[in-house]
Amino acid sequence: MARIAIVTDSTSDIPPELAQRHRIIVVPQVLIWGSETFADGANIHPAEFYARLKTATVMPSTSQATVATFMKIFQELLDQDYQILAILVSDKLSGTINSAMQAKEHLPAGAPIEVVDSQSVSMALGFNVLNVARAVQQGANMSEAIALANQGVAHTGVVLTVDTLEFLYRGGRIGSGSRFMGTALNIKPILEVRDGRVEAVERVRTRGKSLGRVVDLVEAQIGGQTPVHIAALHANSEADARILLDDACGRINVEEKIFSIVGPVVGTHAGPGTVGLAYMAGM
């Protein structure tokens, strides 16, 4: 039976130990900070990133993983006789899928490389990737793995609250109209990834109420689906993420729970203080 390599990108925020355990290859996105360029999660890690961000006078920006990076990773896997399934961040949020497709076009025709748009980001993408990787480890073939990845799009989601929409607006991940949802004093915007885009859902007064609403919305979206996998996400706001995870697990029968720190590239757009819940339900 042909071996299958599961590839994703660093915006998936999969904890490194889980990626290693399930043999997931994580392609680093690019962080640009002044004259410096970093590989997300490779030579800059979340703790370092958020510490530096506190005192930065120049803000970082991001770019998708390059065509050359994908070509190198794909070629190394092909040389080991792997079929490749890349499950990547929404193409409405990043040019990553375009880089992967260009890399595929530069490799020999007929190379066994498939690319799936997760239509999501962070651990919503991460759960889809983990689910497929686990199935492959249990013997799923390529057709089954592709079908599972496409099915996962409708069974994953992420809801989050941010301290400010300024970071998302500045990075072009949310429109100028939605930007003003978070301008009033102590108003906390709640967002979700819907159809591959970040959409503003509502405004809530106070941080505490926003955390409760995040759980409310995730609980409603999950409905009666089982099993449920939940991940708490945070951009340098661990205590609030713990509150979210405890609240969610108190209300929802959770099969798997994960605690994940948002990586530098996602953190650049979401901004410090962001917390949220990602889920996979019904798969």
The predicted model scores a pTM of: 0.92
Structure letter (DSSP) for residue 92: T
> Is 211 found in the same domain as 129?
no
> Is 72 found in the same domain as 32?
yes
> Is 254 found in the same domain as 165?
yes
Amino acid present at 255: E
> Is 193 found in the same domain as 240?
yes
| Local mean pLDDT, 10-residue blocks, the chain (283 residues) | 92 97 98 95 90 87 96 98 98 97 96 98 98 97 98 97 68 45 63 91 88 97 96 95 96 96 90 93 96
Strand partners, 204: 188
> Is 145 found in the same domain as 17?
yes
Given its phi and psi angles, is residue 7 left (phi above 0), alpha (psi -120 to 50 degrees) or beta?
beta
Lookup: tokens for 112: 């066994």
> Is 177 found in the same domain as 101?
no
Q: What's the pLDDT at 33? A: 95
Strand partners, 228: 281
Q: End of a domain among 154, 174, 201?
A: 154
> Is 171 found in the same domain as 84?
no
> Is 140 found in the same domain as 27?
yes
> Is 128 found in the same domain as 165?
no
Gap between the Cα atoms of 264 and 13, Å rounded: 10
Contact between 232 and 252 (Cβ < 8 Å): no
> Is 170 found in the same domain as 112?
no
Q: What is the CATH number of the domain that holds 171?
A: 3.30.1180.10
Residue 29 has a CB neighbour count (10 Å cut-off) of 28
Radius of gyration (C-alpha) of the chain in whole angstroms: 18
Instruction: Give how many domains the chain has, as a whole number.
Output: 2
Strand partners, 27: 9
Q: What is the CATH number of the domain that holds 100?
A: 3.40.50.10170
Gap between the Cα atoms of 180 and 182, Å rounded: 5
> Is 121 found in the same domain as 14?
yes
Contact between 78 and 84 (Cβ < 8 Å): yes
Q: End of a domain among 121, 154, 187?
A: 154
Instruction: Kindly report the backbone phi and psi dihedral angles of residue 97, in degrees, each rounded to the nearest multiple of 5, phi listed first.
Output: -60, -40
Lookup: tokens for 14: 């999969």
Q: End of a domain among 154, 181, 215?
A: 154
> Is 235 found in the same domain as 132?
no
Given its phi and psi angles, is residue 40 left (phi above 0), alpha (psi -120 to 50 degrees) or beta?
beta
Cβ-Cβ contacts under 8 Å for 45 (sequence gap 6 or more): 264
Q: In which residue are the tokens 């130990």 written? A: 17
Instruction: Please give the residue range of the domain that contains residue 49.
Output: 3-154
Q: What order do you get walking across the sheet with 113-117 strand by strand?
A: 24-27, 3-9, 82-88, 113-117
